[in-house]
Amino acid sequence: MINLSRKNQPRYLFKLSVALVSFFAFWFTAVVAVMVAVGCIYGENVITYAVMGGGFGLFAVGLVIFFILDKTFYNRNILKLTAELEKEFTDMPFEEAERILKERGVIDERGFIVNDGVFGGETVPFKNAYLTFNIDVTYNVEMKISLYEKGGDSPKTVYVFDGAAFNYFCEKETNLKYNEALMLLKRNKREFTESISRYSKIFKWEF
């Protein structure tokens, strides 16, 4: 899959995309030009057929090589991202996760804390909260939780989704507890990584 953004993917995937584009440019300009020139000079001759066979053979071999490299690098990136998720999202007791989020100022006994940094913020009661799970995939996986008050159109605040938040939201009775993406992350991190990386190397999802 061609992706020419330097900052949104590992260097080896960027280099592969550049090499693939360069190969296409070379084939459609230099190789096609040679085949046309030979055809004009020799007409329906064994030399013409040999050159055309060599040109299309080069194209086919190039595509096979790039397909193998893309598959190899894709699997390498999946392994890297999966290892990062397994390291970050390890199991911890719900009580410990809850304590960490309270110390961080994410929640209190009544609900989710919205701190605007000016007036001290407010608390959205648990029963009035609606949460979305946001995934941003570039050269790594970044996840956040957006807090909405039921009936509101814009998020009140956004929380970092780390190990403590993972264990808290997997157990807390909110709309996120049965979120498809969150359940997959809990059940199988390799499958989760493959799912979010299958369609594009750069995208954002909101669940």
Q: For residue 167, what pLDDT is reported?
A: 92
Query: Degrees (nearest 5) of the Cα angle 160, 172, 89?
Result: 45
Question: In the block, which residue shows the tokens 């085949």?
Answer: 35
Q: Kindly report the number of other CB atoms within 10 A of residue 45's CB atom.
A: 12
Residue range 7-29: mean pLDDT, rounded: 74
Token pair, residue 8, equals: 């949104």
State how far the Cα of 63 lies from the Cα of 23, in Å rounded to an integer.
9
Q: Is the distance from CB of 161 to CB of 143 less than 8 angstroms?
A: yes
State how far the Cα of 50 lies from the Cα of 176, in Å rounded to an integer.
63
Q: For residue 165, what pLDDT is reported?
A: 92
Query: pLDDT band at residue 204, thresholds of 50, 70 and 90?
Result: very low
Residue range 120-139: mean pLDDT, rounded: 81
Of 52-61, 107-116, 160-169, 176-185, which one has max mean pLDDT? 160-169
Q: Check residues 118 and 44 and name the one with the higher pLDDT.
A: 44
Predicted TM-score (pTM) of the model is 0.65
Residue range 40-45: mean pLDDT, rounded: 82
Query: pLDDT band at residue 201, thresholds of 50, 70 and 90?
Result: very low
Residue 79's nearest CA partner among 185, 198, 194 is 194
Q: For residue 80, what pLDDT is reported?
A: 83
